[in-house]
């Protein structure tokens, strides 16, 4: 398992070296630059504004491990310990207070907003009111004092998020959509900015399919608790669930934020349902799920990769997601270097990367393994998403999943910043990195 702290330092060093590696020519003219070949990885993506955690941070090391990837969090409370302020600021993590039920401190919430008035703030509504062991409210009961919650949000210029719905145990209200529909007949829906949802189904297809039901309200969706729960029997299964979900959530324009449940809780770290991102050791380290959660693509559309450096295959700007929510799988890299890998690119699955292609490019190199003969086709993608095939790369079997090899083929694309797509057209290759040189 790679150490995230070391990884973060490497990323900073790589960024500095990237700036030094190019010649002192016009940076906007691809005809005027030279390619400097390197074995360094171009880890240049910024973190996703969507990615968050539902978590009561417990120590500085928790922030240091998760902070480079987490943009927001909440802890089911009205505020957080003042001793944590520096860490929230250091990593740019936004906090969202919650009115868990009617027993909240409006004073504490207002004080938080007052101290953080330079940002767009949010207020989370009641926690799972259709569960008898949570907020436990019928729509009528929840509406009785909802006006106070609305006033708290409006007085602080905070956007209000609906009560967080799950499949529940409250008689007559197991269906969260049904609960909200009745609730909206008793309050003003225009006071509510977004819809909060909790989902614990153990397949991405079931979980993301359930999430679609809440689009009926026509508001931004906040998936404020999720992981695979019932029947999740291994860390590998949870990683597969996570990567399939994040690939879809990051690309869903209706999904504004999501929060993984839970980085560390009252469960054994390496037992079902294997959802912990952090160990319970002191100091903690990232679990397998934590390494993937922190390091998989943020779908950064602004990242432009250079020629000559290794482009990490897991850091795509977009990827295919089919109707059953199947998408490229991610796993911890088994190669001698690298953090994550594409853990099997199935037929017709693809990933996109924005690259500044220089005039001197002559080769495409790829680091891969394959248990059977495979191939990928490289496409140029125009602004309308249309494909133009540039090159097919034949990838003979390497004889095993962990038997890695580097393949180089002639490749002379047009110069300029462009989006290139790697699509599997045969077999099931695993990919660590690729580069143009």
pLDDT of residue 32: 66
Q: Which of 246, 274, 295 is the last residue of a domain?
A: 295
Measured CA to CA, the distance from residue 424 to residue 403 in angstroms comes to: 19
Residues 247 and 341 placed together within one structural domain of the fold: no
Nearest of 347, 343, 278 to residue 313 by alpha carbon: 343
Look at the block and give the residue holding tokens 């957080």: 80
Q: Tell me the HSE value of 394 on the side-chain side, using a 13 A CA sphere.
A: 1
Burial letters for 72-111: b for 16+ Cβ neighbours within 10 Å, e otherwise? bbbbbbbbbeeebeebbeebebbbbbbbbbeebeeeebbe
- On whether both 125 and 262 belong to a single domain, the answer is yes
Query: Residue 351: how many CB atoms within 10 A of its CB?
Result: 25
Q: Which of 248, 276, 295 is the last residue of a domain?
A: 295
Same domain membership, residue 244 and residue 151: yes
Q: Are residues 240 and 315 in the same domain?
A: no
Of 436, 419, 359, 305, residue with least CA distance to 26:
359
> Do 316 and 212 reside in the same domain of the chain?
no
Which pLDDT belongs to residue 31? 57
Same domain, 122 and 207: yes
Q: Is the CB of residue 331 less than 8 Å from the CB of residue 303?
A: no
Positive or negative torsion for Cα 16, 17, 18, 23: positive
Q: Is 301 helix (H, G, I), strand (E, B) or coil?
A: coil
pLDDT at residue 7, as a whole number: 39
User: Are 69 and 90 contacting, i.e. CB atoms less than 8 angstroms apart?
Assistant: no
Alpha helices in 52-105 (DSSP H): 60-66, 85-91
**Structural domains of the chain, count:** 2
Q: pLDDT in tens for each of the 437 residues of the chain?
A: 444 443 343 444 344 333 433 333 444 555 568 999 999 999 999 999 999 999 999 999 999 999 999 999 999 999 999 999 999 999 999 999 999 999 999 999 999 999 999 999 999 999 999 999 999 999 999 999 999 999 999 999 999 999 999 999 999 999 999 999 999 999 999 999 999 999 999 999 999 999 999 999 999 999 999 999 989 999 999 999 999 999 999 999 999 999 999 999 999 999 999 999 999 999 999 999 999 999 999 999 999 999 999 999 999 999 999 999 999 999 999 999 999 999 999 999 999 999 999 999 999 999 999 999 999 999 999 999 999 999 999 999 999 999 999 999 999 999 999 999 999 999 999 999 999 99
Same domain, 376 and 247: no
> 218: closest CA among 179, 184, 254?
254
Q: Report whether 242 contacts 314 (CB < 8 A).
A: no
DSSP class of residue 215 equals: G
CATH number at residue 60: 3.20.20.80
Handedness of CA 133, 134, 138, 141 (dihedral sign): positive
Q: Domain range spanning residue 274?
A: 51-295
- The set of residues, in sequence order, having a beta carbon less than 8 Å from that of 294 and lying 6+ positions away, is 4, 65, 66, 68, 69, 277, 286
* pLDDT for position 18: 39
30/147 same-domain check: no
Same domain, 185 and 330: no
pLDDT of res. 334: 98
- Domain boundary, last residue among 295, 327, 362: 295
3-state secondary structure of 133: coil
Beta carbons of 387 and 1 less than 8 angstroms apart: no
Q: What are phi and psi of 240, to 5 degrees?
A: -60, -45
Query: Is the same domain home to 119 and 213?
Result: yes
Burial tier of 150 (Cβ tally within 10 Å: 0-12, 13-18, 19+): middle
The pair of structure tokens assigned to 270 is: 């390496």
Cis-peptide, bond into residue 262, ω within 30° of zero? yes
Dihedral class, residue 141 (left if φ above 0, else alpha if ψ from -120 to 50, else beta)? alpha
Same domain, yes or no: 192 and 329:
no
Residues ≥6 apart with Cβ < 8 Å to 363: 408, 409, 410, 411, 436, 437
Residue 358 is part of a domain; what is its CATH number?
2.60.120.260
Same domain, 285 and 319: no
Question: Which letter does DSSP use for residue 325 in this model?
Answer: -
């Amino acid at each position: 398992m790679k150490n995230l702290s070391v990884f973060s330092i490497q990323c900073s060093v790589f960024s500095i070296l990237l700036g030094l590696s190019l010649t002192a020519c016009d940076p906007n003219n691809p005809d005027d630059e030279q390619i400097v070949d390197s074995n360094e990885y171009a880890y240049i993506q910024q973190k996703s504004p969507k990615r968050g955690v539902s978590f009561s941070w417990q120590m500085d090391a928790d922030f240091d491990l998760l902070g480079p990837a987490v943009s927001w969090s909440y802890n089911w409370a009205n505020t957080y310990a003042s001793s944590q302020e520096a860490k929230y600021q250091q990593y740019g993590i936004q906090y969202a207070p919650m009115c868990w039920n009617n027993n909240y401190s409006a004073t504490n919430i207002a004080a938080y907003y007052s101290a953080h008035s330079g940002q767009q703030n949010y207020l989370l509504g009641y926690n799972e009111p259709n569960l008898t062991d949570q907020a436990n409210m019928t729509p009528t009961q929840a509406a009785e004092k909802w006006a106070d919650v609305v006033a708290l949000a409006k007085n602080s210029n905070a956007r209000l998020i609906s009560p967080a719905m799950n499949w529940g145990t409250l008689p007559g209200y197991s269906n969260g959509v049904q609960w909200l529909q009745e609730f909206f007949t008793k309050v003003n829906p225009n006071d509510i900015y977004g819809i909060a949802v909790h989902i614990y189904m153990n397949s991405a297809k079931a979980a993301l399919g359930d999430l679609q039901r809440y689009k009926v309200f026509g508001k931004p969706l906040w998936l404020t608790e999720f992981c695979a729960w019932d029947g999740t029997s291994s860390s590998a299964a949870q990683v597969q669930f996570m990567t399939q979900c994040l690939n879809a959530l990051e690309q869903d324009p209706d999904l504004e934020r999501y929060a993984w449940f839970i980085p560390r809780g009252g469960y054994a770290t390496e037992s079902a349902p294997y959802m912990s991102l952090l160990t319970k050791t002191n100091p903690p380290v990232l679990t397998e799920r934590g390494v993937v959660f922190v390091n998989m693509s943020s779908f950064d559309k602004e990242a432009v990769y250079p020629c000559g450096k290794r482009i990490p295959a897991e850091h795509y700007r977009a990827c295919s997601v089919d109707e059953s929510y199947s998408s490229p799988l991610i796993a911890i890299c088994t190669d001698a270097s690298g953090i994550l890998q594409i853990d099997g690119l199935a037929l017709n699955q693809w990933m996109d990367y924005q690259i500044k292609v220089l005039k001197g490019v002559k080769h495409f190199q790829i680091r891969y393994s394959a248990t059977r003969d495979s191939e990928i086709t490289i496409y140029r993608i125009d602004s309308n998403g249309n494909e133009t095939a540039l090159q097919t790369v034949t990838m003979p079997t390497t004889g095993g999943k962990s038997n890695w090899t580097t393949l180089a083929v002639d490749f002379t694309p047009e110069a300029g910043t462009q989006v290139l797509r790697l699509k599997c057209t045969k077999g099931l290759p695993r990919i660590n990195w690729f580069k143009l040189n």
